[in-house]
Copies of this chain bind each other. A is one copy, B any other.
C-alpha cells in the first residue's frame, strides 16, 4: 500500500521489457546492448538484477509453462466426458495464450541451443502428451473422428492454436479493437471441432 514510485527495476519489471525485445529481434538476435537501450539503463545495471540473458529467457518461458500446466488442474479439465474436457482445454489454451501472449510467444520460439531452451522444449512435449491423452480418451468414447490418428490430430490442433501468437495483438490503448479474444476462442473451437465446411 506504500505509494512507492516504481521507477527502479526489479527482475520482474525488467522481464516485461526484455521479453518484448526478445520477440521483436529474436532471442539470439538480441544483445545486452539492445536490452539496455530498451530498458533505459546500462548493461551493467541489468547484470545487477539478473545473472544474464538466459535467466530472462528462463523466467519468461517458466511463466508460460506454469500457466499452461495450470489449465490441466482446473476442475473442468478433470471432470466430465473426455470430449467435454478436451473442448474446455482447447478454449482455455487459447485464452492463456492471449493473456500471456509475450511469454507464450517466446516459449513457442525456443529452439534448443541452451540448457534452458532444452528444458523448455521437454516441458512443452510433456504438456502436448497430456492433451494427446485427452484426445485419445475422447476418441475411445466415440466422440471424435477415428480416421485421423490421435498423435497427428493433436499436433495439427496445437499448430492451429499456437499460431495465434503470430498475429494476435491485444486492443491498443486507443481503444481501437483488434480481433476480440472471445471471437478468437469461438473461432478456434468451431474450426477445431466442426471444420470449415458449412454445417449441414
Chain A positions within 8 Å of B, measured between CB atoms, are 24-26, 28-29, 111, 113, 135, 142-149, 152-153, 155-164, 166-167, 179, 183-184, 186-188, 190-199
| Cβ–Cβ contact B113 & A145, under 8 A | no
Once bound together, how far apart are the Cα atoms of A67 and B156, in whole Å?
22
Query: Which of these, B144, B167, B179, B184, contacts A196 with CB under 8 Å?
Result: B144
Chain B residues within an 8 Å CB radius of A186 = 148
Q: Which of B113, B135, B149, B162 is close to A159, meaning CB atoms less than 8 Å apart?
A: B162
Residue of A111, A152, A159 most packed against chain B (CB within 10 A): A159
Taking a contact as CB atoms closer than 8 A, the residue among B145, B158, B192 that contacts A190 in the complex is: B145
> Which residue of B is nearest A144, CB measured?
B196
Q: Give every chain B residue within 8 A of A148 (Cβ-Cβ).
A: 186-187, 190-191, 196
